[in-house]
């Protein structure tokens, strides 16, 4: 079995994980019409106490808890492609490994706060609201590692100076655009209404669509790169 076979297998997990994520996303009652930061403590508590919402909150977050880190193998594949680039040092591949460790950990914290809020919904509404705030702010504003991995990947691609670069330059441009689209979300805590608020156009919709798009596009270009790598390996052995 060739080494790249395992990589293809790992890449194949992405659609599965993606479908589970989408399902969990749609299942969570506070995402499709994102909860507003202007909700009062009583409204937030009522949201968690609603017998229709409660199981959906729990099951969706349990799913996220299981599959949030499903993204790490894909980043590992990105690392392997960066290692094939014409660089003098492994700094860029190391940096993506660092992002892979940091990003999902933060997402897990948001997940934890949501589940805590849902565990005893009869708690003082102020407490439920605080956990809800912690969850949403963590979920929305923690774009640092996503921005970093896009920028680092873009730098790595720009500096990959060989006749047939691993990724085409447009992948780098695309990553920089994604990084720019993610940036406003960092300000999620600074506004209660408008596009920057955690339910706003930029912070919620643009950010999440950008992440989704990044996953789809990177899956395709990774698939192509691995395919080319296999062809090269075969040509080298025969």
Partner 1 sequence: MNASAMGNVPAEPSGWHFRRIAWHWRYDEKRELWIGWWTLVVFYNLYGLLFFVVARTQPPPEPSLSPAEVVQWFDDRHRGLLYGYAVVFIVGGATAIMNATLAYSMRRMSVSRAFAYSYLVIYALATLPGMLIMGVVCTVGAMRPERDPELMRWLYDFAFLSFEGTMGVFLIGSLVWMLAILLDENGVFPKWFGYLNLCNALTEVVVAPAWIFKSGPFAWNGAIAWWINMGVFVAYTIAFLTLLRKMILREDFGSGPLPDLSTAPALAPPVSLKAAR
Q: Which residues bind partner 1 (CB under 8 A)?
A: 37, 83, 86-92, 94-99, 101-102, 105-106, 109, 126-127, 129-130, 133-134, 137-138, 141-149, 151-152, 155, 159, 161-162, 183, 186-190, 192
Write down the least CB distance from residue 16 to partner 1, Å.
26
Are residues 176 and 150 in contact, defined by beta-carbon separation less than 8 angstroms?
yes
DSSP code string of the chain: --HHHHHHHHHHHHHHHHHHHHHHHHHSTTTTTTPPTT--HHHHHHHHH-TTHHHHHHHHHHHHHHHGGGGHHHHHHHHHHHHTS--SSSHHHHHHHHHHHHHHHHHHHHHHHHHHHHHSTTS-HHHHHHHHHHHHHHHHH--HHHHHHHHHHHHHHHT--SSS-SS-HHHHHHHHHHHHHHGGGGGGGG-SSSTTSTTSIIIIIIHHHHHHHHHHHHHHHHHHHHHHHHHHHHHHH-
Q: Please, which residue, 21 or 136, has the CB nearer to partner 1?
A: 136
Write down the least CB distance from residue 51 to partner 1, Å.
26
Q: Please, which residue, 56 or 123, has the CB nearer to partner 1?
A: 123
Write down the least CB distance from residue 197 to partner 1, Å.
10
- CA 89, distance to chain mean position in Å, is 27
Q: How far apart are CA 88 and CA 160, in angstroms?
A: 10
Write down the least CB distance from residue 210 to partner 1, Å.
14
Q: Please, which residue, 98 or 216, has the CB nearer to partner 1?
A: 98
As given in the structure block, the two tokens for residue 141 are: 């504003």
Q: How far apart are CA 200 and CA 185, in angstroms?
A: 9
Q: Please, which residue, 32 or 89, has the CB nearer to partner 1?
A: 89
Q: Please, which residue, 111 or 138, has the CB nearer to partner 1?
A: 138
Q: Please, which residue, 13 or 133, has the CB nearer to partner 1?
A: 133
Write down the least CB distance from residue 231 to partner 1, Å.
19
Write down the least CB distance from residue 42 to partner 1, Å.
13
Write down the least CB distance from residue 52 to partner 1, Å.
26
Q: Please, which residue, 27 or 79, has the CB nearer to partner 1?
A: 79
């Amino acid at each position: 079995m060739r080494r790249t076979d395992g990589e293809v297998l790992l890449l194949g997990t992405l659609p599965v994980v993606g479908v589970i994520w989408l399902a969990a996303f749609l299942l969570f009652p506070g995402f499709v019409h994102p909860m507003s930061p202007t909700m009062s403590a009583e409204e937030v508590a009522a949201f968690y106490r609603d017998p229709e919402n409660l199981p959906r909150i729990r099951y969706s977050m349990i799913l996220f808890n299981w599959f949030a880190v499903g993204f790490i193998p894909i980043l590992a594949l990105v690392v392997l492609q960066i290692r094939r680039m014409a660089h003098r040092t492994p700094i860029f591949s190391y940096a993506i490994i660092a992002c892979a460790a940091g990003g999902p950990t933060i997402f897990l914290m948001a997940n934890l706060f949501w589940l805590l809020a849902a565990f005893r919904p009869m708690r003082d509404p102020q407490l439920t609201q605080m956990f809800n705030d912690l969850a949403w702010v963590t979920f929305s504003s923690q774009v640092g590692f996503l921005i970093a991995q896009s920028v680092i990947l873009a730098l790595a691609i720009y500096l990959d100076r060989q006749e047939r670069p691993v990724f085409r330059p447009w992948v780098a441009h695309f990553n920089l655009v994604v990084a720019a689209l993610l940036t406003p979300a960092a300000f999620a805590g600074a506004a209660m209404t408008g596009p920057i608020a955690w339910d706003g156009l930029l912070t919620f919709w643009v950010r999440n669509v950008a992440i989704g798009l990044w996953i789809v596009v990177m899956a395709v270009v990774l698939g192509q790169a691995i395919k080319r790598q296999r062809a090269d390996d075969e040509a080298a052995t025969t």
